[in-house]
Amino acid sequence: MIPEIGHFALIIALALALCQGVLPLIGAHRGDATLMSVARTSAQGQFIFVVISFACLTWAFVQSDFSVEYVANHSQLALPTVYKISAVWGAHEGSLLLWILIMSAWTVAVGRYSKKLPPEFSARVIGVLGLLSVGFLLFTLLTSNPFLRLAVIPPDGADLNPLLQDPGLAIHPPLLYVGYVGFSVAFAFAIAAMLTGNLDQKWAKWTRPWTTVAWLFLTIGIALGSWWAYYELGWGGWWFWDPVENASFMPWLMGTALIHSLAVTEKRGLFKSWTLLLAISAFSLSLLGTFLVRSGILVSVHAFATDPARGFFILAFLGIVIIGALVLYAIRAPELDSNAGFKLVSRETFLLLNNIFLVIAAAIVFYGTLMPLLYDVMGVGKISIGPPWFEFAMLLPMLPLALLLGVGMHAAWRAQPEGVLLRKLRIPALIAVAIGIALPGIAYGRTGILVSVGVAAGIWIMLSSLLDPWRSWRREAGATAMPRSALGMSVAHFGVGLFVLGITIVSAFNIETDQAMRTGGAVEVAGYSFELRELRDAEGPNYQAIEGRVEIRRDEALVGEVLPQKRQYLVQQNWMTEAGISAGWNRDLFIALGDQLGNNTWSVRVQYKPLIRFIWLGAFIMALGGLIAISDRRYRSAA
């Protein structure tokens, strides 16, 4: 009964989404206040019914109702309750439902915080969001209904994919979706502005905080995903250039470009048509990401749903949404260009360069992800593009971006006298270069041009980001403090610096070896000795494991003890690697069991990963910067 209620609630939500998508848009067109007022109430109604539907599915999981096909396929009795709940979005159908839930929550939030906006404008924004909801609800109900029942009820379920039985992956998709879906708000703002035919600086001011919130969730989501891959895939890598990762990285790059271009549009009224195009692209790439993952058009470890029918539906939906947006863009954008000028050395120029490099980066990822597909389509053979290609290609836009970042954030709007900039920045620049040259040799005993450039870039960004907060902190009494939005920018950029430093050091000085190890044996890596003390059996609620106890010593002193495991999940019978990681701020020591080679002998992968934590820390600090920026007073009194 409960699943039927969930199903029914979803149908009511669809009806309400239709109201929300159609009536306010007609109302805004005719200037009919009654029709426009439908927007908020129908959005709230839709949200309530989606919550009911989502709760019903969750209930089915918690109760292990295996008469529901989706539950039977992705849960089992012995699954811990936390994972029964996270299993709701552990596969295609449920993750769509989660997407819809998040989308309607965003819409309610937009309704709540847009009361000071012109009523036609907010009606249009909510209307566009309603139409997007209609698309996703139809998709779910027609092709991916999670509430379908089974005729024959199995005694136990098929279990959740063991890869997903992990706290990191329990919260990674929701965060990612909050980010993806959040860009739909920026998208809706862009469409509404184009429908109104009026895009002024106020528009940018309204759009900015929403975009930043979406961006910061996406940042955290991606960082968590990377961290999860690091410790759960047993490989020690933190980024694989897997199509699914790329699918989340492209909207991130575009979203980052959008945030920066919005700043120009708000402050100077420039880049308007460009900002619109970015807002459309960021969301389109989010949709495209979903399409790539869900359709199975690119085969990958992540793509759990490979079903062409779904692929065609998403493609059609994607086509309608994006073609509609781009046609509107082609009609409206030419009216928007403004010609306020700016000098070559000015913040505008730096932000323009930022945008260019970020878009190039997104284009590279796009090319690398889709080129194999294109070759296939044209029938000219198949190619494969692997991590080495991406790593090299990404340097091209990212290196200049990193170097320019430190200068750009100190440049003034309109025109910046070069002398002042030079005087302000020369000391940080010199320190950065000095550290860049010295650090690799001193700390890691090896040097290289690229490493030095990377370290210098990281330090340079960090120091440059600290300049303004430092001055603000040391200011004389009575001087104005830094506005939150400027502080947020400094913090986020500091995070970028940490991130750059982390990537540089870990890719240059990462050590990994694969060894055969027997109990009692030891290996030496990067001055640490790893001794396999014992191998023992361990047991979890739904798996059995072999656990190694490894003692790590440095100069005889015990540094830590880790317990890498090789787990076999009982229902799906597959083996999972649970790495043993001894984490420190300046290095991770990573041990993963490979294959059993003989009695008490295992192949073991031991890795030394210096500064790897900086990568995720950097990403979290970027997100924190976004959080500080949106707490600026300007946005709270938005109108």
Q: Which residues are near other proteins by CB under 8 A? A: 233, 235, 273, 277, 280-281, 284, 291, 295, 297-299, 308, 311-312, 315, 318-319, 322-323, 326-327, 329-330, 333-334, 370, 372-374, 376-377, 381-384, 386-389, 513-516, 594-595, 603
Q: Provide the minimum distance between the beta carbon of 405 and other proteins in the complex, in angstroms, as a whole number.
A: 27
Q: Is 431 exposed, middle or buried (0-12, 13-18, 19+ CB in 10 A)?
A: middle
For other proteins, which is the closer residue by CB, 229 or 425?
229
Q: Provide the minimum distance between the beta carbon of 443 and other proteins in the complex, in angstroms, as a whole number.
A: 22
Q: Provide the minimum distance between the beta carbon of 267 and other proteins in the complex, in angstroms, as a whole number.
A: 24
For other proteins, which is the closer residue by CB, 8 or 235?
235
Q: Provide the minimum distance between the beta carbon of 315 and other proteins in the complex, in angstroms, as a whole number.
A: 6
Q: Provide the minimum distance between the beta carbon of 390 and other proteins in the complex, in angstroms, as a whole number.
A: 11
For other proteins, which is the closer residue by CB, 26 or 233?
233
CA distance 500 to 462: 10
Q: Provide the minimum distance between the beta carbon of 561 and other proteins in the complex, in angstroms, as a whole number.
A: 24
Q: Provide the minimum distance between the beta carbon of 332 and other proteins in the complex, in angstroms, as a whole number.
A: 8
For 342-379, give one letter per residue: b (16+ CB within 10 A) or e: beebbbbbbbbbbbebbbbbbebbbebbbebeeeeeee
For other proteins, which is the closer residue by CB, 372 or 584?
372
For other proteins, which is the closer residue by CB, 168 or 594?
594
The single-letter code of the amino acid at 138 is L
Q: Provide the minimum distance between the beta carbon of 558 and other proteins in the complex, in angstroms, as a whole number.
A: 27
User: C-alpha distances in angstroms, 590 versus 220, 491, 531, 565?
Assistant: 23, 30, 13, 12
CA distance 145 to 149: 10
DSSP per residue, 450-477 = HHHHHHHHHHHHHHHHHHHHHHHHTPPT
Query: In 3-state terms, what secondary structure has residue 172?
Result: helix
Q: Provide the minimum distance between the beta carbon of 222 and other proteins in the complex, in angstroms, as a whole number.
A: 21
- Chain mean position to CA 122: 27
The single-letter code of the amino acid at 103 is M
Q: Which two tokens stand for residue 592?
A: 């993963």
For other proteins, which is the closer residue by CB, 287 or 411?
287
For other proteins, which is the closer residue by CB, 14 or 285?
285
Q: Quickly tell me which residue has 């059996």 as its tokens.
A: 537
Q: What is the CA radius of gyration of the chain?
A: 26
Q: Provide the minimum distance between the beta carbon of 582 and other proteins in the complex, in angstroms, as a whole number.
A: 22
Looking only at the bridges linking them, the beta strands covering 575-578 and 557-562 are unpaired
For other proteins, which is the closer residue by CB, 178 or 503?
503
Positive or negative: CA dihedral 190, 194, 196, 201:
positive
Beta pairing partners, 551: 531, 561
For other proteins, which is the closer residue by CB, 151 or 377?
377
Q: Provide the minimum distance between the beta carbon of 128 and other proteins in the complex, in angstroms, as a whole number.
A: 18
Q: Which two tokens stand for residue 303?
A: 């793509």
For other proteins, which is the closer residue by CB, 281 or 286?
281
Report the first-to-last Cα separation within the chain, whole angstroms: 47
Q: Which two tokens stand for residue 163?
A: 């890869």
CA distance 78 to 95: 22
Query: In 3-state terms, what secondary structure has residue 179?
Result: helix
Q: Provide the minimum distance between the beta carbon of 451 and other proteins in the complex, in angstroms, as a whole number.
A: 17
DSSP per residue, 425-458 = HHHHHHHHHHHHHHHHHHHHS---HHHHHHHHHH
For other proteins, which is the closer residue by CB, 387 or 541?
387
Task: Give the other-Cβ count within 10 Å of 384's Cβ.
Answer: 8
For other proteins, which is the closer residue by CB, 5 or 373?
373
- For the chain, what percentages of helix, strand and coil (3-state, to nearest 5) are there? 65, 10, 20
